[in-house]
Structure 1
């Protein structure tokens, strides 16, 4: 169990501090990832030591699953970090039997998160909910207006709300920011 605990602490520190916090700078979620991971590790370790019936384990995780993540809006990326923090706790909680397998899985999980969330991969693609002070009847004019305001190329936009009384449009926009290196010598 000590080996699993050490591997788990190293893995969650790399995930939470080394990857997530350095890229996204949300201290509240950093704490949540670490606490959730260590809690899952403790529960799994206890279930293994006590040889509790598997139904009790499934019931416990059923209770954990109904707890809603209450915070300010979290992105799909942040949900992925939650999932990996849980999986690391599970993997390392049962690591006593197969420490090399757990170490390999830790490396795979952390490597995938490093690459999948790397800013160089899709770092210029953005998503934003934009409220405009005008209603556009023509989708092409809407796209031109958004590109002018965002100073970026719009990949996709969907009008989610139109208010003709207040003359307001809410648009869900996906766009690519220009490469700052282009044109720089």
Structure 2
């Protein structure tokens, strides 16, 4: 179990600090990922010592992976980090003591995939933002021009999610390319 715990701690610190925190700078989630992972590891290790069926571990994994965190809004990226933190805890809790090479290989695969998939240079300039405008546009082309002027970016896609004619407000979900040259009108 000590081998599995050591491997798990190295893996979760790599995920939480070296990858997540350095890219996204949310200290609260750094702590949450580490706490979640070590908690999962401890529970799985206990389940294995008590000879509980492996299905209980996977059930626990399933339940924890569908929990909606209600304390603050989190992004899809942050949910992915939660999921990998859970997976690392399960992998190292189940295989760390018995099959340490398998656990190391799976840790490496998970970390490399997260490193590559969340790398800033991979679609790094593409952004998503919810924008509230102080105007209602009836012409979709004019809406796009207004968004590009306000964001100073090339709008790739936009969806109007709310229009309030009383307050003269439009809420738009916008996908855009940051720092792209657009003609400011």
TM-score, normalised by the number of residues in structure 2: 0.91
Q: Does 2:27 correspond to 1:27?
A: yes
What CA deviation, in whole Å up to 9, does each residue of 1:137-162 have, x standing for no partner?
A: 01000000000000000000000111
Question: Partners of 1:101 and 1:58 in 2: how far apart?
Answer: 18
For 1:36-75, what aligned pairs fall within 5 Å after superposition?
Answer: 36-54=36-54, 56-57=56-57, 60=60, 64=64, 67-75=67-75
Let me know the Cα RMSD of the aligned residues.
1.8
Q: What is aligned with 1:166?
A: 167
Pair 66,119 (structure 1): closer, same or farther in 2 beyond 3 Å? closer
For 1:4-15, what aligned pairs fall within 5 Å after superposition?
Answer: 4-15=4-15
Question: Partners of 1:115 and 1:65 in 2: how far apart?
Answer: 22
TM-score, normalised by the number of residues in structure 1: 0.91
Superposition deviation, residue 71 in structure 1: 2.3
What is the DSSP-based 3-state SS (H/G/I as helix, E as strand, rest coil) of the residue aligned with 1:119?
A: coil
What CA deviation, in whole Å up to 9, does each residue of 1:157-183 have, x standing for no partner?
A: 000111111111000000001269xxx
Question: Partners of 1:79 and 1:63 in 2: how far apart?
Answer: 14
For 1:1-185, what aligned pairs fall within 5 Å after superposition?
Answer: 1-54=1-54, 56-57=56-57, 60=60, 64=64, 67-94=67-94, 95-178=96-179
Gaps of 5+ in 1: 181-185
Question: Partners of 1:54 and 1:106 in 2: how far apart?
Answer: 19
What CA deviation, in whole Å up to 9, does each residue of 1:96-120 have, x standing for no partner?
A: 1211011011111100111110101
> How many residues are matched?
180
Runs of 4+ in 1 over 3 A off after TM superposition: 53-68
Superposition deviation, residue 69 in structure 1: 1.3
Pair 62,78 (structure 1): closer, same or farther in 2 beyond 3 Å? closer
